[in-house]
Structure 1
């Protein structure tokens, strides 16, 4: 699949199921105490660096963007899907959300204190991860923080149906060591790697990786 077709398919898939997806995840973070603790640690690191503006990249319906806001950050959301952005704006009218791609963020160089990609790099083809991480590095200021969450594995999973609607979505599992290596190649310094066993709606082990722009 070409770059353009993969982006088009991902955007269209989330557009068609935006309302159902948002409802499905409405209380998801309630059952993730470790994730909430790590988000709090991420926010503390961002505040310590003195640049509280943070992008939630691949924000979906904004359920994590609002948590960052409540943690005292100047958080805004970016998502590939206009449908998702519309839901996020409706649900959290006090926050800013915009349509955009993590491959080319409309953000000035070195302007952010943090970038969160919470289960959003999972739709990026493996060979394009280095490009994405370089873009994250570009928009972060020195001392800026990066937090990634993803499912662990080696396989590509395809779905052509979700919530009773036709979709065309590829999910790329990741190995934490591969992600750490690519982050290092992009210039990041590793802060921590967390591996979690499946819980709740999770069916595979999960990982959260945190890194810093020197």
Structure 2
């Protein structure tokens, strides 16, 4: 799949905010037991199916990649932002991180036992989601699992000058039913789902969704 034009804006945004973003969110999983529960369930399913490599796509500073590794998975991270990748490598020197896109990983079919996109499909336009999910289906082994986290809503959020940086970006909010339907069409039917309200620390403004899929 060729790289869509919108990716340059995403790269610029996250290169600019990388250091401040990592500082603000480095321990966010500590206060989110439901989020951790979905990651734990995902890890158990991957291990039960025989293990194998797991890709954290849109890994940012690597906090979820490290959490997955701590759950006993062979996890590595991929991110569009060179600054995020460099930061992840410094913070987690024992793990593998590489620059790349979710839409064009250039890997053989069936080479991943699991895929995690932790709030990273939120920058993919609706019309590109079917292609993206088809790529995930191609990369996963039969019986492999994918875990998606995203914001629930009907309209995108436009974030301007976050953390004092002169950048802006759209964040796509979606209904879980819409994403689940597209996943099913791509051969990745949803096996479990969780929706929760925003956390009470003020770091979220919208409900959050988590979908766990399995490749048929």
TM-score (norm 1): 0.96
Kept in 2, the 8 Å contact 1:100–1:106? The answer is no
The CA distance in 2 between the partners of 1:164 and 1:189, in whole Å, is 40
- In angstroms, what is the RMSD of aligned CA positions? 1.1
Equivalent in the alignment of 1:212: 214
Partner of 2:204: 202
Q: What is the TM-score normalised by the length of structure 2?
A: 0.95
Alpha-carbon contact 1:146-1:212 (below 8 Å) kept: yes
Q: Distance between the aligned counterparts of 2:4 and 2:120, measured in 1?
A: 17
Greater alpha carbon shift after TM alignment, 200-209 vs 80-89 = 200-209
Distance in 2 between the 1:4 and 1:138 partners?
A: 19
| Counterparts of 1:162 and 1:189, CA distance in 2 | 35
Secondary structure of the corresponding residue to residue 64 of structure 1: helix
Deviation at 1:4, TM superposition (A): 4.2
| 8 Å CA contact 1:150, 1:208 repeated in 2 | yes
Shift of 1:52: 2.5
Flag structure 2 segments of 5+ consecutive residues without an equivalent.
Answer: none
Contact 1:160 1:167 in 2 (8 A): yes
Q: Name 2:28's counterpart in structure 1.
A: 28
What displacement does 1:107 show? 2.4
Which residue in 2 is equivalent to 1:171?
A: 171
Structure 2 SS opposite 1:166 = coil
| 3-state DSSP of counterpart to 1:179 | helix
Aligned counterparts of 1:54 and 1:182: Cα–Cα separation in 2: 22
Number of residue-to-residue matches in the alignment: 212
Residues 122-172 of structure 1 show CA distances to partners (whole Å, capped at 9, x for unaligned) of 011111111111111110000100000000001011123111111131100
Question: In 1, Cα distance between the equivalents of 2:161 and 2:189?
Answer: 39
> Could you report, residue by residue, the CA deviation over 1:166-196 in whole angstroms, capped at 9, with x for unpaired residues?
1131100011000000001101122111110
Contact 1:51 1:112 survives alignment (8 Å): no
Q: Residues 89-127 of structure 1, C-alpha deviation per residue, up to 9 Å, x if partnerless?
A: 000000000011111113221011100000000011111
Which structure has greater strand proportion?
Answer: 1
Alignment check: 8 A CA contact 1:61 1:84 kept:
yes
CA contact (8 A) 1:191 1:210 kept: yes
Runs of 4+ that moved beyond 3 A? none
